[in-house]
Structure 1
Amino acid sequence: MSEDQVTVRRAVEADEAALLGIELTAWDASSGFPSLTPADRTSFFTERSGPEAHLVAEEDGVVLGYIRLQDKYTFPEGSGVLSVNGLAVAEKARGRGIGSILLTAVTDEAGRRGAHKISLHVHATNAAARRLYERHGYVVEGTHPREFLIEGAYVDSLDLAKYI
């Protein structure tokens, strides 16, 4: 697969089943919150996070991954700061640059929206995601030691940001 065969578009309601399938298999204790991805979950989109908040990468009509981009703040003083609140790639598509394609698309979308900053959180234990974000210009803004207790172990949370 070459990068030019993958397209990125805004999600639509019809993507829900594919996105839920990715969501349910994308996370483990090093990268996500096991309590938020129960196997009996039946929907991907929520009232706060509908199709309009997601960009999807696809190839030949097959959804390969998604990125969720939302306003970080709801008040005027925080305008221009967006937040990546999820990035996941289907297991079969990992290692193909889909995460990079989605991060590039998010930067482009943020520019179209007139944003000056994109922020995100990542588990300190998620080394692959941290490397990906750093390659795309994200820098650590803060560390929250022992932020989460996941499967009996404390996990630090990192705040990363990219200025555009």
Structure 2
Amino acid sequence: MDTPQPETPSDDSPVRVVIRPAVAADGHAVYVLDHRCWSPATEVSEQPDPPEPDSSAFYDDRHRPEHMLVAVREGELLGWVRVLPPTPLPSNAHIRAIMGLQVAPEARGLGLGRALLHAALAKARAEGARRVTLRVLGGNIVARSLYEQAGFTVTGVQPQEFWLAGEYADDVLMGIDLDAAEREATGQAADRAP
């Protein structure tokens, strides 16, 4: 599968970050990153237990490696995104949902989040999806900005949906129409042609 590659972090570094489909062997590294990145400001679930050596506990029946893309540099996992059908219903098969995106703290600001998100949209298109949805906490301004820059729009808000770190947090529903996004991107490219 062709996936967009993020920019190399520095011009003098020959090392590139590769975004690729996850495999079962990535499970431990994904779990470690999930544990490291957990924050009550961005997560609605309880903090995961510290990872056991060689644990691949991140994967389960609903969340399998084939639902994930990972960003790797020289064997080190720097980020991941999970994109999958939101339900097993055939009537909902044209939808994909982003159900998690994380970038290692030391790799933030390098464009990995944007590259992972674009790769997830490409994966959704390749699987025949017409629309991609996601949910994000109202106070997670960095993530909301990333999604808006990629073309996601707010489709709804569940006010005070979660009680986190001593205060209520809104659940913001966002989505992108892949066909419209493709038309817009093609139109913009045509507008810039000489």
Question: Structure 1 length as normaliser, TM-score?
Answer: 0.93
Distance in 1 (alpha carbons) for counterparts of 2:128 and 2:153:
20
Distance in 1 (alpha carbons) for counterparts of 2:65 and 2:89:
22
Q: Which runs of 4+ in 1 moved over 6 A?
A: none
Distance in 1 (alpha carbons) for counterparts of 2:62 and 2:47:
15
Structure-2 residue corresponding to 1:84: 98
- Give the share of equivalent positions with the same residue, in percent: 32
Structure 1 segment 43-122 matched on structure 2, within 5 A: 43-122=57-136
For residue 43 of structure 2, the aligned residue among 32, 43, 53 is 32
Unaligned runs of 5+ in 1: none
Q: Deviations over 1:34-77 (max 9, x none)?
A: 51423367521112111111100111222111000110121121
> Which moves more between the two structures, 1-10 or 126-135?
1-10
Conserved 8 A contact 2:137-2:169? yes
Aligned AA for 1:21?
A: V
- What count of residue pairs does the alignment treat as equivalent? 164
Structure-1 residue corresponding to 2:182: none
Conserved 8 A contact 1:54-1:69? yes
Q: 1:101 to 1:129 in 2, by over 3 A?
A: same
Unaligned runs of 5+ in 2: 1-6, 10-14, 179-194
Larger Rg: 2
Structure 1 segment 84-163 matched on structure 2, within 5 A: 84-163=98-177
* 3-state SS, counterpart of residue 115 of structure 1: coil
Aligned AA for 1:134?
A: E
Q: CA deviation at 1:21?
A: 1.1
Residue 2 in structure 1 maps to residue 8 in structure 2: yes
Cα-Cα RMSD: 1.7
Name the structure with the higher strand share.
1
